[in-house]
C-alpha cells in the first residue's frame, strides 16, 4: 500500500537487472508527473541551449530560414533586457510544472524566526551551495508554488544567472519569463537601486566553480575570494541575507578527477560556465541518467545583515562586511545541519 504521503510503495520490490535498478510498474500517476516536471526543469537548463542552437541550424536549411534571421535580430535588439530588470511573466511563474517539480524532491522553505524583511528596502539573498543545477533557491524563493510568496507577497524576487544564458535561443525566453536577470554588476545595481524597495535578488556567489565541487553529502562553498557582491551591497545599502539549501548537493554524482577539474576550470575561464559531468537517474531506472535524484531540499533563509550605504566603499570596509557575512553563513550551517542533515556531527562546512 501507499505511505500516508503517497511517496512510496512499501510492499513492492524494486526490479534489478544487470546491476540496474528499475522503476516499479505500479507507480501513482502524480509521481510520474513529478518525475517529468523535475526532468523538464533540469534538462531545460542542462541541454536546452544546445537544442535551441541545433533547431535554429536545422531551420536555416528549410523554407523557414528567414524566421531564424528575424529571431537572432530580436536577440540582438533585446540583449540589454537581462541587464535592466528582465521581464518576468506571471503566466510562466505560475506553470503547474513548478508545482510538480517542487513536490518531486520535495523542496521546502524554512526561515530563521523573526527575520522581518522590510518592504521598503531591497535585499541581496546570497544562496549556497550552487549544486549542479540550483533547484532549491529558485523553487523556494522565485516561484509562487512555495510559501515565501505567501509570507512576503509584497516582494519581487529576481534570480541572477550568467549573462551568457541570455544569448541561447529559446532558452533565454524561458529564463526571462522565470524572472531571471544577469548576474553582472550593472544588472545587480539596477535591481538593488530601486528607491521604492520591495526587490530581492537571489544570487549564487559560488557560481560555476562551486558547481563542480558539488558531491552528495559534501558542503563546499566558494566564498573566500568572492567579494564583488559585498561591494554591491555596500554601494546600494542592501542588507545581505545568507541562504543555504540543505540537500542541494545530493541530487547528482560527479566524477572527481584532478585532470578533469583543470579542463573544467580552463573552459570556465573563457566561457563563464563549467561543463559539469554529472549522473543522476533516468525515467525508468534509478541507476544512471540526467534526471536529479528524489532527495529532499530545504532552503533556509537566514537573518539579514545590516548594511550602511557607502558610495565608494574602501577595501577595509568591504573586508569587514565580508568577514561578518562568512561568520553568519557558517553559523547558519552549524545551527540548521542538525535539523536537515543525517549524521550532522560528521558534516562539516568547507570554505574555498
How far, rounded to the nearest angstrom, does the alpha carbon of residue 70 sit from its chain's CA centroid? 31
User: What are the backbone dihedrals phi and psi of residue 211, each rounded to the nearest 5 degrees, phi first?
Assistant: -60, -40
**Topology given in CATH for the domain delimited by 29-351:** Glycerol-3-phosphate (1)-acyltransferase (3.40.1130)
User: With contact defined as beta carbons under 8 Å apart, do 312 and 337 qualify?
Assistant: no
Residues forming a β-bridge with 221 = 351
The edge-to-edge listing of strands for the beta sheet with 156-161 is: 107-111, 297-301, 240-246, 123-128, 199-203, 156-161, 180-182
Residue 35: predicted pLDDT? 94
Domain regions of the chain by residue span: 29-351
Residue 276: predicted pLDDT? 77
User: With contact defined as beta carbons under 8 Å apart, do 94 and 144 qualify?
Assistant: yes
Tell me if residue 207 falls in helix, strand or coil. Answer: helix
Rounded Cα distance, 214 and 86, in Å: 29
Residue 274: predicted pLDDT? 65
- How far, CA to CA in Å, does 18 sit from each of 22, 278, 293? 10, 22, 20
pLDDT tens for the 352 residues of the chain, in order = 344 344 444 434 567 777 788 888 788 888 999 999 999 998 898 888 889 999 999 999 999 999 999 999 999 999 999 999 999 999 999 999 999 999 999 999 999 988 889 999 999 999 999 988 889 999 999 998 888 999 999 999 999 999 989 999 999 999 999 999 999 999 999 999 998 999 999 999 998 788 878 889 899 999 999 999 999 999 999 999 999 999 999 999 987 767 777 777 777 776 666 677 888 999 988 888 999 999 999 999 999 999 999 999 999 999 999 999 999 999 999 999 999 999 889 889 999 8
User: With contact defined as beta carbons under 8 Å apart, do 317 and 234 qualify?
Assistant: yes
Amino acid at each position: 500500500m501507499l505511505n500516508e504521503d503517497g511517496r512510496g510503495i512499501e510492499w513492492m520490490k524494486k526490479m534489478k537487472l544487470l546491476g540496474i535498478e528499475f522503476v516499479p510498474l505500479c507507480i501513482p500517476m502524480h509521481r510520474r508527473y513529478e518525475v517529468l516536471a523535475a526532468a523538464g526543469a533540469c534538462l531545460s537548463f542542462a541541454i536546452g541551449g544546445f537544442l535551441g542552437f541545433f533547431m535554429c541550424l536545422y531551420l536555416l536549411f528549410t523554407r523557414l530560414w528567414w524566421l531564424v534571421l528575424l529571431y537572432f535580430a530580436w536577440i540582438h535588439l533585446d540583449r540589454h533586457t537581462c541587464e535592466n530588470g528582465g521581464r518576468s511573466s506571471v503566466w510562466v511563474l505560475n506553470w503547474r510544472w513548478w508545482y510538480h517539480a517542487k513536490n518531486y524532491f520535495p523542496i521546502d522553505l524554512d526561515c530563521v524566526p523573526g527575520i522581518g524583511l522590510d518592504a521598503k528596502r531591497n535585499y541581496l539573498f546570497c544562496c549556497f551551495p550552487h549544486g549542479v543545477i540550483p533547484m532549491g533557491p529558485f523553487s523556494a524563493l522565485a516561484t509562487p508554488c512555495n510559501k515565501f510568496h505567501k509570507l512576503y507577497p509584497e516582494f519581487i524576487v529576481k534570480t541572477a544567472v550568467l549573462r551568457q544564458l541570455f544569448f541561447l535561443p529559446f532558452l533565454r525566453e524561458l529564463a526571462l519569463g522565470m524572472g531571471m536577470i544577469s548576474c553582472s554588476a550593472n544588472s545587480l545595481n539596477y535591481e538593488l537601486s530601486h528607491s521604492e524597495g520591495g526587490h530581492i535578488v537571489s544570487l549564487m556567489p559560488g557560481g560555476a566553480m562551486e558547481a563542480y565541487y558539488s558531491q552528495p553529502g559534501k558542503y563546499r562553498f566558494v566564498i573566500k575570494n568572492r567579494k564583488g557582491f559585498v561591494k554591491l551591497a555596500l554601494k546600494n545599502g542592501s542588507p545581505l541575507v545568507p541562504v543555504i539549501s540543505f540537500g542541494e548537493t545530493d541530487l547528482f554524482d560527479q566524477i572527481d578527477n584532478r585532470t578533469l577539474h583543470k579542463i573544467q576550470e580552463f573552459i570556465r575561464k573563457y566561457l563563464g560556465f563549467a561543463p559539469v559531468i554529472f549522473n543522476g537517474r533516468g525515467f525508468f531506472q534509478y541507476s544512471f541518467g540526467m534526471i536529479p535524484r528524489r532527495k529532499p531540499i530545504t532552503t533556509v533563509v537566514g537573518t539579514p545583515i545590516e548594511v550602511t550605504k557607502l558610495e565608494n566603499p574602501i577595501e577595509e570596509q568591504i573586508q569587514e562586511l565580508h568577514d561578518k557575512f562568512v561568520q553568519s553563513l557558517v553559523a547558519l550551517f552549524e545551527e540548521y545541519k542538525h535539523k536537515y542533515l543525517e549524521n550532522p556531527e560528521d558534516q562539516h562546512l568547507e570554505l574555498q
